[in-house]
Amino acid sequence: MMKNLIIVAALVALGGCAVTPNSANVYSSRQAQGEQSVRMAVVDSVRPVTIDKNHGGNGAGTLAGGALGAVAAGSTIGKGNGSLAAGVVGAVLGGIVGNQVENNLNQRPGLEITVRLDNGELRAITQDADEPFRVGERVRLLSSGGVTRVTH
């Protein structure tokens, strides 16, 4: 019973940690073969940022951590009321730790890339920091459906 509860809690936690990339190099299946407009530009500035992929969280880390904490503390400490109290404390501490883990997993390093289009307009695009960009470098802006990517 306890092993099953731990497995379920771990699966919930892992499911809550799935994040969608904001990379210029990753396309969803519905974006594949879609036409994009292409504009040329020059990198004006690059600023490191943090991308929070799950602002506010979905609570999976808190729930899984709380469940694991309750089971671990409640089943190993005390008997009767002592076990119940340990389970409650374990649930609270596990929830706090689980929430922090979820937040850390949902934050990724990103770049705010400001570019100057050939017509002189400035645009800023934020995406995952999985490709380096340098000021003065010539780049492409690929746009479709309100999403723009900066690529080389």
Tell whether the model's pLDDT for residue 20 goes beyond 90.
no
Q: Which residue's entry shows tokens 């879609």?
A: 34
* No. of helices (H) and no. of strands (E), the chain: 3, 5
CA distance 80 to 94: 21
For helices 81-105 and 60-76, give the axis angle rounded to 10 degrees.
150
Residue ranges per structural domain of the chain: 20-53+89-151
For the chain, the distance separating the N- and C-terminal CA atoms, rounded to the nearest angstrom, is 54
What is the pLDDT at residue 106?
Answer: 79
Model confidence over 48-64: pLDDT tens digits?
A: 999 997 755 556 656 66
- The CATH number of the structural domain formed by 20-53+89-151 is 2.40.50
Instruction: Output the CA torsion 98→102→103→109 (10° steps).
Output: 140
Model confidence over 99-114: pLDDT tens digits?
A: 666 555 778 999 999 9
- In the structure encoding, which two tokens stand for residue 68, read together? 């694991």
What is the pLDDT at residue 2?
Answer: 52
CA distance 105 to 111: 18
What is the pLDDT at residue 82?
Answer: 67
What's 59's DSSP letter? S
What is the pLDDT at residue 102?
Answer: 55
